[in-house]
Structure 1
Amino acid sequence: MTAPPLQTFGPEIWTADGPQTEVVGFRYPTRMAVIRLGDGGLFVWSPVALSDGLKAQVDALGEVRHVIAPNALHHLFLEDWRRAYPAARLHAALGLAAKRGDLAFDGELTDAPPAAWAADLDQTPVRGCAITTEVVFFHRASRTVLFTDLIQQFPPGWFSGWRALVARLDLMTQPEPAVPRKFRVSFTDRRAARADLDRILSWPAEQVLMAHGAPVLADGRAFIERAFRWLKG
């Protein structure tokens, strides 16, 4: 497997695009982020498939201490990272530990960042969604908000045939990254979601990184407000 190159995304944050995965017949690109914390340890968000080349690039940045599964959908490659970095702590979003009983998680992500990364990142779960409770992060040094699946965008021509129609109806191919329709209708507790969104909007975001979509490199807070306008209405 060819190593996806780590790319600098901002101060102390790098990204790598991994191989595609398939979910119910739909191809998804994969993307991870590596953040170097103030103590020199590495925080690995939504890890992609691990190759020898990618491992070498990550190891050159520092010691992997935290591996993050930010929702219950992004777990395909956790076992490989656990095996490669047995001393790292594996952190799971709500619901994933029950789904992956074969993995020993070290902690569940809450609305308060643990001391290990509280100086570098803030976080909040976005509650009220029946599909998954996604934990959204804010990296202070790069002023980057990290979404996993709640915001997505696929380029023109990515899907074909009936899949292209489904993707269009699901708002996955909008001109600007958007919250897919399936997520919008699955919010059964919008009051809770709005409270979590208010916290996200309190962050001085400039950039937005997502697992499936082109990053937003400027005016991140305004972009997030547009993407969730439907929730505030």
Structure 2
Amino acid sequence: MAVVATDVEYIVWGIDQTAYGPVELPTLVGWVRDERVTADTWIFAAKTNTWQRATEVPELRMFFSRKSSGASSNGPTLGVEARALRRIKILGAMSDEQLERFGQFVEMTKAPQWSVIVKQGDPGDTMYLILEGELRVRINVMGKETILATLGVGEFFGDISLFDEGPRSADVVANSDSVLAKLSAGAFDKLAKEAPDLATPLLRAIGRTMSARIRADNKRTAGAAARSVG
């Protein structure tokens, strides 16, 4: 993390292994309040020419001491309300009563901006539904980021991992503070056994989405082949 000091105060090392800044103290404080900078975030201070964890930066200590006394956690919370799940497109065929029951099988979790929700190559066993925020799907090729898609409220990812629990095919990074509902492979198996009337419409919706992806990929491949021949 070699950095050349500048006249501006701070540089932030994000969870996605990217340097953000330089920024001045008011901006940095705003990021702390928005939980974009956490206690363990690495901060480069130009005036001391050193990297420190955010809790070790004198100007920020007061904010983290306040948080430690009663701030809410970003960890998962079991159960999601039906009205939140109503935003998810693939659950559109479910009634309010079905959504209420489905919500008992998923967990709600927060993803701060810049956090990596899933990492390419890691084993996967969880599907995510986007309740709030925006995410990007990316791959790194020779150190360069290539964005494959941008996902918003109502969309989902990681569905294939419910079936094969194979390695993740790409990174998914939070472009903004986001709220997600998680459905693990274990919870999905439980859903299929205990509530098949919920699992069936979910599977059908996932199947339709997969089919659309395959058709789109085939169309792109055919188009590329036609251009190469022409």
State the TM bucket, normalised to the shorter chain: under 0.3
- Structure scoring higher RCO (CA < 8 A, sep ≥ 6) equals 2
- What is the TM-score when the length of structure 1 is the normalising length? 0.22
Considering fraction of residues, name the structure with more helix.
2
- From the CA coordinates, give the structure whose radius of gyration is larger: 2
